[in-house]
Amino acid sequence: MKVAMFGGTGFVGSHLVDGLIAAGHTPRLLVRPGSETRVTRRDVSEVVQGEIGSEDAVAECLTGCDAAIYNIGLLREFPAQGVTFEAMHYEGCARAIEAARSVGVGRFLLMSANGAAPEGTPYQTTKYRAEQSLAESGLDWTVFRPSVIFGDPKGRMEFCTQLRDEMIEMPIPAPLFHEGLLPVQAGRFKLTPVAIEDVTRAFVQALETPESSGRIFPLGGPDALEWRAIIQVIAQACGRRKLMLPAPVWAVRAVATLLDGQPWFPITRDQLEMLLAGNVCDGSEAWALFGIKPHRFEAAALSYLGTRRA
């Protein structure tokens, strides 16, 4: 099967490409000019140069394919550069959906996110609108909504690696965010980290699993862990002990208001709000359908944190 890939050069995308190839499929990637070196399996992948904003390039990537995966996602946007949630999450996906219909690609998988909703942050609402466009398209579709994803970053940005670099290895205590003045609930919000290997298997198996059609699958790991526990596991994997102290959200929110437009500032106001709301979902429906035993979020699964790539 030939599979068109939009968003195939980042952390999740590179794993999806590997998973497709391992299953005997041929990925056909839309790649921005100048980013060809980010294609990890150029020897067995097809590459189409172009931008997601180009109807012609999107159609070219889809032509001759049997299925499509839309995996373009932003952690933060930079409107001055034209990099926005609206353009990448919604408009790009809608363009790919329309092109898929035009060239006869019937099967379409979408990487969405846990928390996608008609109301919320721009990140959440654009993911939701992309889901709605796909559901109304008439295509044979499946949507995945993962919690935070962990795994070997292959030199790219990844949840645990980012926390290692920006928190665990910094000579200051790790923040336990909390609302209000009293730190009673400091760092008590929960997440269900899900392994990239499990996310990849779900996508690849969904291509040939008719029972997955027309469904939205949450993808959460087997354990709902508090923020403080997640920090401890990452520190353990790095061979460290990390001091943690309560951090009132109002102070962080005030600083983020001034600096979240700067690429070097580690967190935006919207990211902070979504983090405090938690990121918990039950992946058991997908795991049962695809026969996957999900990996636990534990130090042994984070051995890649001890390896740095150039």
Percent of the chain with pLDDT over 90: 82
At residue 51 the predicted structure's pLDDT band, cuts being 50, 70 and 90, is very high
Question: What is the DSSP secondary-structure string of 119-130?
Answer: SS-HHHHHHHHH
The dihedral built from the CA positions of residue 307, 308, 309 and 310, taken in this order, carries a sign that is negative
Q: What is the pLDDT of residues 127-154, one digit of tens each?
A: 999 999 999 999 999 999 999 999 999 9
Task: Please state whether the predicted TM-score (pTM) of the whole model is above 0.75.
Answer: yes
Q: How far apart are CA 159 and CA 174, in angstroms?
A: 15
Are 110 and 142 in contact by the 8 Å Cβ rule? The answer is yes
Q: If you average pLDDT over every residue of the chain, what do you get?
A: 94
Number of domains the chain contains: 1
Closest by CA to 115, choosing from 218, 244, 245, is: 218
**Domain assignment present for 168:** no
pLDDT at residue 303 tops 60: yes
**Domain assignment present for 72:** yes
pLDDT at 310: 42
**Domain assignment present for 177:** no
**Amino acid at residue number 239:** G
**Domain assignment present for 55:** yes
What's 82's domain CATH number? Answer: 3.40.50.720
pLDDT at 78: 86
Average pLDDT score over residue span 45-62: 97
Q: Which residue has the tokens 């980010």?
A: 38
pLDDT at residue 309 tops 60: no
Tokens found for residue 301: 């699964």
**Domain assignment present for 263:** no
Q: What is the pLDDT of residues 189-230, one digit of tens each?
A: 999 999 999 999 999 999 999 999 999 999 999 999 999 999
How are beta strands 174-178 and 107-111 bridged, if at all?
A: unpaired
The dihedral built from the CA positions of residue 9, 15, 19 and 21, taken in this order, carries a sign that is positive
**Domain assignment present for 270:** no
φ, ψ of residue 129 in degrees (nearest 5): -65, -35
Domain interval for residue 112: 2-149+194-220+280-294
CA distances from 304 to 45, 106, 246, 294 (A): 26, 37, 28, 18
